[in-house]
Amino acid sequence: MPDAVVVTASAGSFQGLVEALRALPAVVEERPLMTFAPPLDWGPLDQALGKLARFDALAVTSPRAAAAFSARLTAGGSKRPPETLPPAWAAGAGTAAALDGIVEPVRTPPERAAGELGAAAALAGAMLAAGVRGPVLFPCGEIRREELPARLRAGGVEVEEVVCYRSVLAGEAAARNAAERARVLVVASPSVAELLARTCPAGRRPPLLAAGPTTAAAAEASGWPPSAVAARPTVDAIVAGVRTLLATPDGGPA
């Protein structure tokens, strides 16, 4: 039986996670199943940056998007005066930190709501409750979930989506290899959960820990229900979930 905790999250997604898992103690392998690249065309984002004054808010749902947006905003060493930037909203503390010093202040939804609903849905709810009118600028990846823009639009808020990075999924062979080596498989992306579900046959699936409700929902919908879901998308919550699965015979329910 494989004895490794296999972390499929992209490099840098959860700083300190591998070290914290090894302290359980556990054998840990990093096998990222997603990498990132610049967008094929910066034009739409650059056009949005040129008309920031028209936006009522900026909304970001991932540290990756926040970092890419910040880097483009400050390209060439320039820094825009705070009064030229719309109020910023971030789905969680990690995303807010990626905007720190670039856009201030940054508002986030209540942590409990993010854990229960998913970060993007909680963010949309918080923005609507605060009376955000729109339009909202939503820097995002080429592959993304639609919870935030869908909920905002349902609330009558205009959303302009601009791609600031591309997600590149690993191949099926890499996905199968990661699953075959895992006693517990840590998944932090809905796209990766879908890749694993269509790649790995039902009889060869280790216990899967989803790093949040959105990833858990994608895994469930793809036919690979997670054996555990981290209470929050944080290092401590993921480690707690892995600890529980390692202590459970066969890693818990399939």
Q: Could you give the 3-state DSSP secondary structure of residue 16?
A: coil
Contact present, 28 and 8 (Cβ < 8 Å): no
Domain shared by 130 and 174, yes or no: no
Any idea what the CATH number is for the domain that residue 128 is in? 3.40.50.10090
Q: What is the pLDDT of residues 164-205, one digit of tens each?
A: 999 999 999 999 999 999 999 999 999 999 999 999 998 889
Domain shared by 143 and 216, yes or no: no
Q: What is the pLDDT of residues 80-102, one digit of tens each?
A: 555 578 999 999 888 999 897 78
Domain shared by 90 and 155, yes or no: yes
Domain shared by 23 and 49, yes or no: no
Domain region containing 112? 37-167
Domain shared by 148 and 67, yes or no: yes
Domain shared by 118 and 195, yes or no: no
Domain shared by 179 and 155, yes or no: no
Distance (Å) of CA 33 to CA 45, 143, 159, 174, 178: 26, 14, 30, 7, 9
Domain shared by 147 and 184, yes or no: no
